[in-house]
Amino acid sequence: MAAPPYRFRVFATADIGREALAILQQQGYEIEVYPQLEAPSHDLIVDKVRAGVDGLITTLRDRIDTEVFEAGKGRLRVVAQDAVGFDNIDRAAANRARIPFTHTPEVLTEATAEFAWFMLGAAARQLWASEQLVREQQWRFWHPYYPLLGTEVTGKTVAVIGTGRIGQAFIRKSLGFEVRLLCHDPVRQDAEFVQKVARLQAEGRKSGLLRASASIAYTGLREALSEADFVSLHVPLLRAGESPAPTYHLIDDERIGWMRTGAWLINTSRGPVVDEAALLQALRAGRLAGAALDVYETEPLPETSGLRAADLVQRVRLYPHAASATIETRLSPDPERGMAGRCVQALRDVLEANYGGQPARMPYVVNKEAFQDGGTA
Ligand code: GLV
């Protein structure tokens, strides 16, 4: 087992936060941070790993595949991802190489959930178009319905697809909007959580604080989609073969067909959860009121994407994968507060052999299954 000062070499594909990286330097780590704002090429990552690093810090824009794990044979001991999602990392390849990879759960839950609500609000109340009017000197008088009216959120029906950490935070934040919540989770229902929310709502209704619309229930996907005014997605991206309930294109042509005409789709999860071609078709056909998207099938959103079409501009809100983008969430060096802090802690857990050196016991290791035999990294 290594002891401080540590002599580990780490390559970070981005500056994930100076204060957090400084913690590693203070411990004696040798850190190289890719200096550009754009992501390094896959070849460069492979070269850096082949040249010999003990730890690799990655972001969701880096493809970490068999080639990277092969290049790390004999030296690379951990891949620490600065994100909660990890669909850019080939889990089977990591397992074959017996290299633990880590992520940063929980610390971005609140930021992501509140952003989903802000997106929903911005879409429903046409905040972007409204501001544009003022900026472009198009606001010349007040009028009861000119130039635009939004749709009210309070009291409406909201489908929450995915009731893990972020879905639950989204639900907690919805209480003041007194909405009817229809929850669906393709994998696991948290009945206890829903009961707790239902009890709060019942108290609120009884005391007159909340109106009758405030309610919550688990439903099937079809019911949730077909009754909701707003559908908010909070599932991880799981492709066929990665789970008995894959979420790739969960919202496809058929499922969009189940949605109410005039409903809004809000996506802060992962782009490929939605079939963008089917979404575009539904928007064009006037089947949906619109969509507010923070994630895309290809990121950054290509210039040629139909989602940018001028005729859809009032109905499609586009954001740059920014749901977790707060100073606190992205940069705090505190592992209990920020992604940077948690990413660094996760890397240290593996390299410094915390938890008896057993990845299966380390809280932020994702691929624990590769170490269930009690093996060390
Ligand atoms: C981080 O921003 C993530 O989407 O996991």
Of the two residues 375 and 308, the one the predictor is more confident about is: 308
Percentage, residues of the chain above pLDDT 70: 100
> Does the active-site annotation cover 337?
no
- Tell the CATH topology of 109-318: Rossmann fold (3.40.50)
- Rounded distance from Cα 81 to ligand 1 centre (Å): 10
> How many whole angstroms separate alpha carbon 155 and alpha carbon 210?
10
Task: Write the DSSP assignment of 194-224 as a string of letters.
Answer: HHHHHHHHHHHHHHTSS-TT-EEEE--HHHH
- The residue to mutate among 16, 57, 58, 60, having the most atoms of ligand 1 within 8 angstroms of its beta carbon, is 60
Q: What is the mean pLDDT of the chain?
A: 97
Of the two residues 273 and 1, the one the predictor is more confident about is: 273
pLDDT at res. 267: 99
The architecture in CATH of the region 9-106+327-371 reads 3-Layer(aba) Sandwich (3.40)
**pLDDT tens profile 297-348:** 999 999 999 999 999 999 999 999 999 999 999 999 999 999 999 999 999 9
Q: Where in the chain is the domain with CATH 3.40.50.720?
A: 9-106+327-371, 109-318
pLDDT band at 374 (very low <50, low <70, confident <90, very high): confident
- Rounded distance from Cα 295 to ligand 1 centre (Å): 10
> Does the active-site annotation cover 299?
yes
Res. 2: pLDDT tops 90: no
Q: Which helix (H) or strand (E) holds 101?
A: strand 101-102
pTM of the full structure: 0.94
pLDDT at res. 377: 76
**pLDDT tens profile 222-271:** 999 999 999 999 999 999 998 999 999 999 999 999 999 999 999 999 99
Ligand 1 atom closest to Cα of 324? 2
Q: Say which of 180, 234, 270, 342 is annotated catalytic.
A: 270
Distance of CA 373 to the CA centre of its chain: 31
Percentage, residues of the chain above pLDDT 90: 95
**pLDDT tens profile 261-270:** 999 999 999 9
* Site of tokens 């609500």: 117
